[in-house]
Structure 1
Amino acid sequence: MSKRALYQLLRTANRPRIHGNGCVKAQIARESTDATKALSEKISSEIKQEVAKLEFPTIITRSDHIQRLSKYYSPKMLKSIIAAEQTVTPDLWDKRKKAKPLFPLSYADDLAKHDPFYDLPRMPWTDFSEPHQPVPPPSDLPQTVPPDLMNTDVVEAELANNRGISRDYMRRLIVRPLVRKLVSNVTRLGKIRSFYSLVIVGDENGMIGIGEAKDRNESSRAVMKAKSKALRNMFYIPRLDNRTIFGSLENNYHGVDVQLWPRPPGFGLRVNHLIHEVAVCAGLKDLGGKVRGSRNKMNTIKATIEMLRNQVLPEEIARARGKKAVDIKKTYFSARK
């Protein structure tokens, strides 16, 4: 009888039976106690013999080795294995090419040694007589802590110290959150939702800034973060007579085609509502424009700011043509009446 059959016999001895009426009743073993004990002793003795053979194998001869391999490999594979074993001699094994790590240690065979480069730090506070090294002293360099984007006072203090901008000036700026929406980042763990915000700030006198931010919890926090970034990214937009642009502008930004034209005094801002907000923050009063193609809000705002920032000034044209800036202004940049 095989081992599998003996184990199956023991399982069926105590297995419960399900009768037709649905009641589960445990079947009482019919065999006597002496017969069950004799059966279990026989199984345990056979298992012990097999374990003894596996734990303490005797010296394996060449024929036993080939016979053992023949149980797992086909004749063709067995022939190739024997041929490979015959080609590898002890001399070849000793002369084998060892792996060379990128940063090898000089004591690969003896870990009780010390490497002068890796194990001994070259610091003044190192004490090799003690098993535990002391804590390094604090550095004298100032620690640069990133400012909190949610704290307006921290951002204002940083700008006041680094750029010399007064807090009263920053508090008088116009803040326009033009884009606020819920976005999703699709990852392998699922969709991660967050609030997106695009904010522009300006002083109505040529200075304008744009900022983008996200927050997973609240939309207002995203607006505050975007405002802080916009304050850091402020730049100056040149204007003709402090009211309009210097010439016709056109920009294609990711499918959004924006065109702007200068207009005479009193014309007003007859442009897209998003461009209108940008113009108010920048201090432009007379402007005409058209948005063609896509109507994406973010791209429309970015295309407008990119055009206003990269205007061709009269000084640049005059320098390229070898003329005076006054002549260029009278010819090309005079106000239309």
Structure 2
Amino acid sequence: MPTPTRVRSLTGSLVFHMNTYLPRLRKQHLSTTALLLKPETKPITRETLQPFYQQEQISALLDVENDISRTAPLRWKPRRRDSFSLPYFTDLSRVDPFLDSTPSGVPKSGRWPSQPVPKMEDTQFQQGEEDDENKIKDLSRLTGLPIPYLQSLKIRELVTHRVTNQTRLGKIAKQYVLTIAGDGNGMIGIGEASSTSGELASRLSQYQAIKNLRPIVRYEDRTIHGNVKVKMGAVEVLLMSRPPGFGVRCSQYIFEICRCAGISDLAARVERSRNPMNVIKATVQALTAQKTPDAIAKGRGKKIVDVRKAYYGRGVY
């Protein structure tokens, strides 16, 4: 007995359409313009639909296919309602002989004349220069030093690291900068600042170093008067005077301080802790707090030659 052909009812046609090749092909045709313009490679006929649909369903599908043209989906696209939508249905893919014609007076070079690129002034850079000039004027007014002198100062950033401030709202990360400034002729200053911006912290520390400029006493404009020992926290710094030609033999931080202060002969020893910030602060404090032979002679009630022990033109060393 032959197996009867399974006939699907019209009630299940909607579900059946979603699982066949025909609805998927139709969906692609309706949603993609590129597929609409392509020729049909496999036309849909009654013979191809016979194994899947009833005769009534096949007739309905073929009638719908004949009624719908291939260019109909182009008119089914949703129209934009925003301010940038086109108020007409012109096909912009085609060249209009009137609207797209080359205007008279334009050379036929194959390129449209381009508009000149607007040139905008870099106001931010100019504003920064003006701020620097105004800040230098303010520093000159506060310190009483001339502007050319402030511009010729030697500035070195010795310590830069990240710090964090814990608050009830969370952690606030900042950049810490310690800077020294000097003229190379007996003036030295130290400044420190912290800010959320590294550039701003560097600039503020430079301003603080310039404000804190202090004179130091130098022997023969090259070394210090005797040995000086200073304790800053857990750091102990010992500075020792040396004869001419000895050079500066010490750590990198003290070396930079000596260059900014104008000291060419010095020996230094850092004992116990070697924290960079405390080493720098202790060195600057030792240079500014050293006692001169005149002050020692006045304190002892002696003459300066007795304090220096230099008689008849004999050198100190």
TM-score of the superposed pair, with normalisation by structure 1: 0.53
Is the CA contact (8 Å cut-off) linking 1:264 and 1:336 kept in structure 2?
A: no
State the Cα distance separating 1:293 from its structure 2 match. Answer: 1.2
Instruction: Output one character per residue of 1:215-274: Cα deviation in whole Å (capped at 9) or x when no partner.
Output: 11x212111100011111101010111100101111111101111110000000001110
- Secondary structure of the equivalent of 1:204? coil
Within a 5 Å distance, the mapping from 1:2-151 to structure 2 comes to 151=131
Query: Is 1:205 aligned to 2:185, yes or no?
Result: yes
Query: Is 1:180 aligned to 2:160, yes or no?
Result: yes
Partner of 1:303: 282
Is the CA contact (8 Å cut-off) linking 1:211 and 1:233 kept in structure 2?
A: yes
- Secondary structure of the equivalent of 1:221? helix
Partner of 1:152: 132
Query: Is 1:260 aligned to 2:239, yes or no?
Result: yes
Instruction: Output one character per residue of 1:106-148: Cα deviation in whole Å (capped at 9) or x when no partner.
Output: xxxxxxxxxxxxxxxxxxxxxxxxxxxxxxxxxxxxxxxxxx9
Partner of 2:228: 249
State the Cα distance separating 1:188 from its structure 2 match. Answer: 1.9
Partner of 1:285: 264
State the Cα distance separating 1:158 from its structure 2 match. Answer: 1.9
Distance 1:335 1:302 in 2: 32
Distance 1:240 1:152 in 2: 36
Distance 1:178 1:268 in 2: 21
- Secondary structure of the equivalent of 1:231? helix
Distance 2:261 2:249 in 1: 15
Query: Is 1:228 aligned to 2:203, yes or no?
Result: no
State the Cα distance separating 1:313 from its structure 2 match. Answer: 1.1
Letter of the structure 1 residue corresponding to residue 146 of structure 2: S
Is the CA contact (8 Å cut-off) linking 1:275 and 1:301 kept in structure 2?
A: yes
Query: Is 1:167 aligned to 2:150, yes or no?
Result: no
Residues 279 and 271 (structure 1), Cα distance of their counterparts in 2 relative to 1, 3 Å cut: same
Distance 2:306 2:250 in 1: 30
Is the CA contact (8 Å cut-off) linking 2:179 and 2:191 kept in structure 1?
A: yes
Residues 154 and 326 (structure 1), Cα distance of their counterparts in 2 relative to 1, 3 Å cut: farther
Distance 1:221 1:191 in 2: 20
Distance 2:234 2:131 in 1: 36
Distance 1:271 1:151 in 2: 38
Residues 192 and 205 (structure 1), Cα distance of their counterparts in 2 relative to 1, 3 Å cut: same
Distance 2:228 2:315 in 1: 16
- Which runs of 5 or more residues in structure 2 are unaligned? 1-127
Is the CA contact (8 Å cut-off) linking 2:308 and 2:316 kept in structure 1?
A: no
State the Cα distance separating 1:331 from its structure 2 match. Answer: 4.7
State the Cα distance separating 1:151 from its structure 2 match. Answer: 3.8
State the Cα distance separating 1:164 from its structure 2 match. Answer: 2.9
- Secondary structure of the equivalent of 2:156? strand
State the Cα distance separating 1:335 from its structure 2 match. Answer: 6.1
- Secondary structure of the equivalent of 1:265? coil
TM-score of the superposed pair, with normalisation by structure 2: 0.56
State the Cα distance separating 1:324 from its structure 2 match. Answer: 2.1
Distance 1:276 1:232 in 2: 22
Letter of the structure 1 residue corresponding to residue 152 of structure 2: R
Instruction: Output one character per residue of 1:60-105: Cα deviation in whole Å (capped at 9) or x when no partner.
Output: xxxxxxxxxxxxxxxxxxxxxxxxxxxxxxxxxxxxxxxxxxxxxx
Distance 2:223 2:288 in 1: 13
- Secondary structure of the equivalent of 1:267? coil
Distance 2:263 2:216 in 1: 10
Letter of the structure 1 residue corresponding to residue 217 of structure 2: P
Letter of the structure 1 residue corresponding to residue 187 of structure 2: M
Root-mean-square deviation (Å): 2.1
Distance 1:210 1:162 in 2: 17
Distance 1:175 1:235 in 2: 14
Is the CA contact (8 Å cut-off) linking 2:229 and 2:286 kept in structure 1?
A: yes
State the Cα distance separating 1:160 from its structure 2 match. Answer: 2.4
Is the CA contact (8 Å cut-off) linking 1:263 and 1:336 kept in structure 2?
A: no
Instruction: Output one character per residue of 1:153-175: Cα deviation in whole Å (capped at 9) or x when no partner.
Output: 23321232343311111111100
Instruction: Output one character per residue of 1:258-312: Cα deviation in whole Å (capped at 9) or x when no partner.
Output: 1111000000000111000011111111000111111111000000011111101
Q: Percent identity?
A: 42
Structure 1 or 2, whichever has the larger Rg, is 2
- Which runs of 5 or more residues in structure 1 are unaligned? 1-147
